[in-house]
């Protein structure tokens, strides 16, 4: 497996609380992505980063923010979790802007109750 | 909105048979990729085909791309029980940095 680690792997949180998911890579890849996976929707892009402090929104960015202060870490924050954000979240890395393969983490299963 | 759409949504075949999955997409692409996801795991890259390629092979995998029809197919030959998984196509837009756009996937079950 590529050196990409997501933490935590599982989390249950209450509606309205802030939640931060972490993605850590040891591959020194420039591009990092956060996706969510829901039944019937496949994977949808939330936010992505193309360098330290360089981030942009994806298809389903509302309610989420990200930060990348170091090449190896990409954080996804749910400012005030809602039940609609119950999902499995995947981090991915690549060394090209979609021109090469992406490597995925094992996922974080988040449940908002 | 989803760029790629896989067909069928689910496929069940006997071990040893060939499995074919199709993917359609909507806009111009730089490349198209196929990924596999085993239950409860992350996605694993299988094969990438560029927009100027028509066919590509990797082991038991064969991918075709028809840019005029905006479609691709993934063929797995001589299927094995271990091939049971969900398969996703993903497209990379030309010149964009916005990652990959995934379809909803085909769930493949190989019956022993």
Residues paired with residue A17 on neighbouring β-strands, in sequence order: none
In this complex, is the C-beta atom of B102 within 8 Å of any C-beta atom belonging to chain A? yes
Q: Find the closest chain B residue to A41 by CA distance.
A: B104
A31 touches chain B (CB under 8 A): yes
Choose among B41, B96, B103: nearest Cβ to A42. B103
Cα B78 from Cα B88, distance rounded (Å): 20
Contact (Cβ atoms closer than 8 angstroms) between residue A45 and residue A35: yes
- Given an 8 Å threshold on Cβ–Cβ distance, is B88 in contact with A42? yes
Q: How many CB atoms lie within 10 A of CB A93?
A: 24
Looking at chain A from residue 34 to 53, which residues have their Cβ under 8 Å from any Cβ of chain B?
Answer: 35, 40-45, 48, 50
Average pLDDT of A83-105?
A: 90
> What is the predicted pLDDT for the residue at B95?
55
- Inform me whether the C-beta atom of residue B30 falls under 8 Å from chain A C-beta atoms: yes
**Chain A residues within an 8 Å CB radius of B48:** 100-101
- Of A42, A99, A101, nearest to B2 by CB-CB distance is A42
Nearest-CA neighbor of B31 among B87, B85, B99? B99
Cβ–Cβ below 8 Å for A98 and B97: yes
Q: Are A48 and B97 inside 8 Å of each other by CB? A: yes
Contact A2, A92 (CB under 8 A): no
pLDDT at A97 over 80: no
- Which is it for strands B10-14 and B106-111: parallel, antiparallel or unpaired? parallel
pLDDT digit of tens for each residue in chain B (112 aa)? 446 688 899 999 999 999 999 999 998 888 999 999 999 899 999 999 999 999 999 999 999 999 999 999 999 999 999 999 999 999 987 655 577 889 899 999 999 9
CB contact set of B95 (below 8 Å; sequence gap of 6+): B30
pLDDT band for A2, please (50, 70, 90 cuts). low
Question: What's phi and psi for B55, nearest 5 deg?
Answer: -155, 145
pLDDT in the model for residue A72: 97
B96 touching A, CB under 8 A?
A: yes
Do the Cβ atoms of B48 and A106 come within 8 Å? no
* Contact yes or no for A42 and B98 at CB 8 A: no
Are the Cβ atoms of B97 and A56 closer than 8 angstroms? yes
pLDDT on residue B43: 95
Q: What is the pLDDT of residue B107?
A: 95
Which of chain A's residues have a Cβ under 8 Å away from the Cβ of B88? 42-43
């Amino acid at each position: 497996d590529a050196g990409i680690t997501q933490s935590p792997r599982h989390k249950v949180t209450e509606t309205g609380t802030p939640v931060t998911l972490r993605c850590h890579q040891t591959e020194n890849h420039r591009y990092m992505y956060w996706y969510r996976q829901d039944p019937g929707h496949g994977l949808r892009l939330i936010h992505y980063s193309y360098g330290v402090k360089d981030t942009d929104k994806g298809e389903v960015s509302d309610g989420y923010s990200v930060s990348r202060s170091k090449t190896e870490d990409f954080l996804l924050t749910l400012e005030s979790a809602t039940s609609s954000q119950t999902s499995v979240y995947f981090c991915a890395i690549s060394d090209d802007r979609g021109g090469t393969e992406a490597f995925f983490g094992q996922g974080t299963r988040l449940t908002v109750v | 909105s989803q760029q790629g759409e896989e067909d069928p949504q689910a496929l069940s075949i006997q071990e040893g048979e060939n499995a074919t999955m199709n993917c359609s997409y909507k806009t111009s692409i730089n490349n198209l990729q196929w990924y596999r996801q085993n239950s409860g795991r992350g996605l694993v890259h299988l094969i990438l085909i560029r927009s100027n390629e028509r066919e590509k092979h990797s082991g038991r995998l064969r991918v075709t791309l028809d840019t005029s029809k905006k479609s691709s197919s993934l063929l797995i030959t001589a299927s094995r029980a271990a091939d049971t998984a969900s398969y996703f196509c993903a497209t990379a837009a030309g010149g964009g940095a916005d990652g990959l756009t995934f379809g909803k996937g085909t769930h493949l079950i190989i019956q022993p």
